[in-house]
């Protein structure tokens, strides 16, 4: 696949640009560069090479290897499926792909059982078909590619924002404005490398929000992602003093009412409610929405009753 460098990416590292353009992890981008599968204007460059506006980047993704991840018969809530993609409503508590501490019972394990070798290989043997991720304790809509062409197309839509995602969340405190935008770069926390944080050296991140309802000490919001950084919504709202209800990583954990809801919450109150994209083959604009999960409805009812 041949790419021209966008204006906003001039001066960025080659591995960073390849990762964004091809929709693959930075680690995989580095492996492709090191193995000679990436050329810049026909020449092999180092992963740290800073791209220029005149560069054309050719990314050749080799045939995918058989997955070492086991297929598991795990039920999937499939909202839509065709020969190119699958749209799934992921339940709260399910990890998207295997990782240390979560070797199985993931969405990928379930997808391998359901679709087998038809999934795109671009994500690598651990993440076949995975175009974008949502956190373990975040429920909701995720689109999966069934072939490399669909994966590349959907990844490009992530980059140019034609793949839209709308989340619903409950945050602590009363957000004063009815709507607004949080624009703050996100990167690894210098204090805790396992966490993300708003940091000057981070990647641009933009979250648009609209207040749906206000309760006594809490706000129910709709969030539209313009970018898709790791933990973006959680980090952005925590940075404004309004961490997500139930978020044990970015919240302060000192809210008494929240502590009483642990059996219901089990993590942040966040649901990927809508997803919209252009179909890679038919070019038809597609839009899918899901109901709020039961735990979310119970929380909203409790907040409404508490606010009367």
Residues with a catalytic annotation lie at 135
Distances (CA, A) of 17 to 26, 156, 168, 215: 9, 12, 30, 43
The DSSP call for residue 8 is G
Whole-angstrom distance, CA of residue 194 vs CA of residue 200: 18
Pairing of strands 85-90, 78-81: antiparallel
Contact by Cβ (8 Å): 141, 89? yes
CA atoms within 13 A on the CB side of 37: 16
Instruction: Identify any residues that bridge with 278 across adjacent strands, giving them in sequence order.
Output: 285
Residue 23 to residue 12: CA distance in whole angstroms: 16
CA–CA gap between residue 15 and residue 163 (Å, rounded): 23
Q: Is 235 helix (H, G, I), strand (E, B) or coil?
A: helix
């Amino acid at each position: 696949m041949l790419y021209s460098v966008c204006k906003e990416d001039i001066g960025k590292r080659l591995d960073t640009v390849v990762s964004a353009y091809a929709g693959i992890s930075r680690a995989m981008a580095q492996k492709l560069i090191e193995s000679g599968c990436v050329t810049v204007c026909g020449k092999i460059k180092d992963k740290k090479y800073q791209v220029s506006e005149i560069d054309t980047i050719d990314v050749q993704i080799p045939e995918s290897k058989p997955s070492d991840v086991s297929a598991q018969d795990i039920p999937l809530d499939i909202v839509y499926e065709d020969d190119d993609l699958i749209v799934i409503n992921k339940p709260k508590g399910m990890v998207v792909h295997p990782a240390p501490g979560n070797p199985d019972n993931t969405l990928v394990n379930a997808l391998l059982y359901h679709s087998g070798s038809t999934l795109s290989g671009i994500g690598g043997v651990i993440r076949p078909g995975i175009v974008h991720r949502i956190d373990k304790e975040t429920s909701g809509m995720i689109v999966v590619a069934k072939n490399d062409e669909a994966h590349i197309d959907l990844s490009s839509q992530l980059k140019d924002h034609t793949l839209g995602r709308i989340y619903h969340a409950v945050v602590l405190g009363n957000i004063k404005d009815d709507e607004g935008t949080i624009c703050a770069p996100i990167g690894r926390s210098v204090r805790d490398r396992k966490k993300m944080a708003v940091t000057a050296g981070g990647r641009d991140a933009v979250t648009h929000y609209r207040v749906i309802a206000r309760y006594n000490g809490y706000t129910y919001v709709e969030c539209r992602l313009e970018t898709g950084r790791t933990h973006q919504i959680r980090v952005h709202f925590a940075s404004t003093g309004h961490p997500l209800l139930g978020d044990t990583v970015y919240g302060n954990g000192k809210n008494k009412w929240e502590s009483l809801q642990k059996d219901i919450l089990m993590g942040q109150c966040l649901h990927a409610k809508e997803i919209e994209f252009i179909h890679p083959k038919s070019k038809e604009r597609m839009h899918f929405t899901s109901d709020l999960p039961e735990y979310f409805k119970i929380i909203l009812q409790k907040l409404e009753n508490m606010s009367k």
